[in-house]
Amino acid sequence: MIYCTYERTFRMDNFKFTIRQAEARDAPLLPAVERSAAQAFLQLPKHAWLADGDTQSVEQHLKFIKDGFEWVAVDAKDAPIAFLNGNLTKKTFHIHEVSVQSIHQGKRVGRNLMETVIRWAVTSDCSSVTLTTFRNVPWNEGFYRSLGFRTLDSSELTPELNIIMKHEAEAGLLIDERCAMCLRMD
């Protein structure tokens, strides 16, 4: 188990938030954060169904927290406004979900959360960070590219990424609208 042993506080204009390791007490609040974040998909008619789609369960969040692989951004009252979780396989950290409450989107919360976890991956001797996301959705593929991620060709997918992409297709996501991305640490 590898824990992020530090907190970082950010101030953006009149808005202050802290990024820290998630705790069990945060888990019941995180599905609502994810549901709020998904409301952004209402802007895209063919993806609008995601606004009412499933969220990660409290139990799933508790597992990520127990394993040390969930971070939250919290407001001044220590209430979660965003989260990022994933898992470590060999030396690759795979991001499963990044969600920012709708009222806090566009305030660099997601970017700072990603940058915090990327710094953690570097100091934890990870060789790469991977994720899957939508192509051609402004806050997805383009956002991750701005952080240094590269979109992988299908021939570059690891067995783990192939399995994840297959599960996403089984869940109703159109595979030609999805991509896997990687940020190499070397």
So what's the architecture of 8-184 in CATH?
3-Layer(aba) Sandwich (3.40)
Task: Give the residue extent of every domain in the chain.
Answer: 8-184
Classify burial at 112, counting beta carbons within 10 Å of its beta carbon; exposed 0-12, middle 13-18, buried 19 or more: middle
Q: What is the pLDDT of residues 112-127, one digit of tens each?
A: 999 999 999 999 999 9
Q: What pLDDT was estimated at residue 1?
A: 42
Residue among 59, 55, 64 at smallest CA distance from 28 = 59
The contacts of residue 21 (CB under 8 Å, 6+ apart) are 3, 4, 5, 68, 70, 71, 72
Do the bridges between strand 92-100 and strand 178-184 make them parallel or antiparallel, or are there none, so unpaired? unpaired
Q: What is the pLDDT of residues 31-87, one digit of tens each?
A: 999 999 999 988 888 888 888 888 999 999 999 999 999 999 999 999 999 999 999
Q: What does pLDDT average to over the chain?
A: 91
Q: What pLDDT was estimated at residue 173?
A: 87
Residue among 96, 68, 99 at smallest CA distance from 82 = 99
Sheet holding 150-151, edge to edge: 8-12, 15-21, 70-74, 80-89, 92-100, 128-134, 178-184, 150-151
